[in-house]
Chains A and B, each alone.
Chain A
Amino acid sequence: MSKATVATKRLPAVEGVWVFVGADMFFFAVLFFSFMSDRVKQTDVFQASATGLSADIGGINTLILLASSWFVVQAVHAAKQDRGAEIAKWLLAAFACGIAFWVSKVIEYGDKLGAGITPVTNDFYMYYYTLTGLHLLHVTGGCVMLVYLWLRARGGAYNSQRMAVLEGGGIYWHMVDLLWIVLFPLLYLMR
């Protein structure tokens, strides 16, 4: 193989983003482990409570986040191919998904709280509110980040030579998506 055909391996974004993502996912892993540990002790309570959650809403949320991740991938691809005008559009689409997720969670929380189900109802709902709440905090942070990236993209900040920040944002947003993909079956589907 000639030297010209050897692709240079490159770590997307900067190392620090991976440190952050790794540590953050470790935190969630600890919480998932804690959830499973308590589920083993109170299987009946957890199973009965899980039936109170709408798998349909959880599924819609999953689709929203998967779509948003796809939009971010498209934004990064656009930057790689120097299609500058497209980057901002894809980021805006991803941001709209983030808002849609927010609206969905507000409706879901409102429904549960309206039915008198709070974090102190039982241990399942304690985990439900805290895990989804922490995840929603990540979504909120991600939305702020997407707006920042969108504003910068409109100013032509990203292209094939300058995309570390965009990639870093994308990695974070994928992590938010991935966490939800674990949360969804853990809370909504395990009955």
Chain B
Amino acid sequence: MQARANDYGTWKLMAWTGPIFFIGFFFMWGLLASNFPPMAASTSAEGMWQHYKDLQFEIMLGMSVCIVLGSCYMTFGIAVSRVMRRIEGPEGMLSNMEMMGATITYAPILVACGIWLTGALQVDVLPPVAIQTMYYLGWMIIDIAYMVTSWQIIAVSLVFLRDKREKKLVPSWVCWWGFVTVASFFPVSLIPFFKEGPFAFHGMFNFWIAFPTWYIWIVSLSFFIIKAVNRIEIEDGAKAAKEVPVSGSGYAAAR
């Protein structure tokens, strides 16, 4: 069943929550809360405590906003899922997997930001080692939950690669970049074992490769999903115009 005409507004609005998510997160999580670049895993407990003390307000504000903004990943995921159903049909399992993946991805974001927020809030009454533990905990949760997001990305990539349109709703290179993103995630499993080097959570690979790779994917996908919703609206409009009989012609034909 096609979307009713007045559904497109909601659909577009949800598609636009993708850019709201990635722009908001870049500024609030990355820049304001000073996670871009993150504090090194090898920083001493006292160093981490001081970091939280110095940036208490910025971290509290950044994390509070990110907890709210993180939900946009879920709403964007619903918009993506709806576009995917146009390709694999209303009963498609992959579009369900995408929606579940996007929704559950919000959970580690929410929990990690909540932990960092609490660390900043309680910095004056907590010992340095507690702040360090909370900082690590946030990273372990937000990073190692990557497989849920990976399933989402795999589902998106598979479905849009199967798009039979001459000009696909989402170009193939975005889908292949999705597979690249998933491949870049696997070394993230190594973060508990290293405090230095490319596989630490602040390291060359697990931060400077894995995060930008995913970021390029979400920015590209958002751009094409917004365009796809507009295209689908136009396609549906054209289809509906063809199906509506010319006034009186049905009666004339019957006679």
Q: Which residues of A contact B (CB under 8 A)?
A: 14-17, 19-20, 23-24, 27, 30-31, 34, 38, 119-120, 123, 126, 130, 134, 137
Give CA–CA (A111, B240) in the complex, Å: 69
CB-contacts of B155-199 with A (<8 A): 161, 172-173, 175-177, 179-180, 183-184, 186-187, 190, 193-194, 197-199
The dominant DSSP class at the A interface is helix
Q: Would you call B177 and A123 a contact (CB within 8 A)?
A: no
Given contacts A38-B197, A119-B193, contact A30 B204 (CB under 8 A): yes
In the bound complex, residues from chain B placing their C-beta under 8 Å from that of A126 are 194, 197, 199
Q: In the complex the two chains form, what is the Cα distance from A17 to B197 in whole Å?
A: 30
A-B contact count (CB 8 A): 51
Roughly how many angstroms separate A137 CA and B185 CA in the complex, as a whole number? 12
Main secondary structure of the interface of B (DSSP, over half): helix
Identify B176's interface contact among A20, A31, A119, CB under 8 A. Answer: A20
Are A130 and B177 neighbours in the complex by a CB distance under 8 Å?
no
Measured CB to CB, the residues of B under 8 A from A are 161, 172-173, 175-177, 179-180, 183-184, 186-187, 190, 193-194, 197-199, 204-205, 209, 213
How distant is the Cα of A19 from the Cα of B180 in the complex, in angstroms? 8
* 29 A-B contacts (beta carbon < 8 Å): A14-B172, A15-B173, A15-B176, A16-B161, A16-B172, A16-B176, A19-B173, A19-B177, A19-B180, A20-B176, A20-B183, A23-B183, A23-B213, A27-B184, A27-B205, A27-B209, A30-B198, A30-B205, A31-B198, A31-B205, A34-B197, A34-B205, A119-B193, A120-B193, A123-B197, A130-B187, A130-B190, A134-B187, A137-B186
